[in-house]
Amino acid sequence: MLSYPDIDPVALQIGPFAIRWYALAYLGGILLGWAYAVRLARQAQLWPAGKAPATAEQIGDFVTLATLGIILGGRLGYVLFYNPAYFAAHPLEILYVWQGGMSFHGGLIGVLLAILFFTRRQKLPLGGFADLIAMVAPIGLMFGRIANFINGELWGRVTTAPIGMVFPTGGPIPRHPSQLYEAALEGAALLILLLIAGKGFRALRRPWLITGLFALGYGAARIFSEFFREPDAHIGFLPGGLTMGMLLSLPLVLGGMGLMAFALRRSSP
């Protein structure tokens, strides 16, 4: 088996003030996503009629709103999807975000609401702007899963494979480093796939096509990764051997396929 690297989750400690890798991952993902989105928006030839769905300034204005959507949506999603009974009995702990507990699916809903609000307020094309955000989203997903690995959390199922690792909080038995599987599939691979589709196959000229591909790609990658990831202890396996992550990702696969079909039925780019 492989040795789990002994990485301190705290990147920098100044007296009682601690900066954790998890927080830096969120910050780094948002900043790099912002820069990538601006770069894509400046390539007019990628977009319908040679016009990007937003300016660099508008993308900058959206960053704060998107960050709120990620944090609030991710936290509320975790509360509602993964542990509603506990938080109903301890409502104040909903605010304890530093103790961990974020849901991608909740964060996705938060960002979608932010996109809907922002595009209406700024009178921007909803489909094109959603495609722009979908193009950059895998950057944050990759950084987040790497941070999960550094924290030694969300580890995988028990394995005898050579790639197994003994995690500090996972007991003495080797487990799949499923966080790295997710970083590779939901992050790096999906980012490359969207780049090839958006720039190589001009998919950004068809509004909603990239958004649909993102939803389909993430949902499929997450469902596959769930076969290696240990379910949350307080939830366990659902009927049929499913997990909560699989259940929440299935609508993304179906919705992504529907959006792609809708985009492809529209007029040629």
Answer whether 138's CB lies under 8 Å from 186's CB. yes
pLDDT tens figures, 139-185: 999 999 999 999 999 999 999 999 999 999 999 999 999 999 999 99
On whether residue 3 sits in a domain, the answer given is: no
Question: How many domains in the chain?
Answer: 1
11 is a domain residue: no
What does the alpha-carbon distance between residue 230 and residue 217 come to, in Å, rounded to a whole number?
Answer: 21
pLDDT tens for each residue of 94-131: 988 766 788 999 999 999 999 999 999 999 999 999 99
Residue 243 lies in a domain: yes
Contact 135, 124 (CB under 8 A): no
9 lies in some domain: no
Contact 203, 209 (CB under 8 A): yes
Residue 2, domain member (yes or no)? no
Q: What would the two tokens of residue 254 be? A: 């179906």
- Identify whether 135 is part of a domain: yes
Q: Which residues pair with 229 in a beta bridge?
A: 156
Domain that holds residue 218: 17-265
pLDDT at 257: 98
> Is residue 105 within 8 Å of residue 248, measured between CB atoms?
yes
**Domain-located, residue 10:** no
260 CB burial (10 A radius; 0-12, 13-18, 19+): buried
Q: Does residue 12 sit within a domain?
A: no
pTM reported for the whole predicted model: 0.94
Give the pLDDT of residue 97: 75
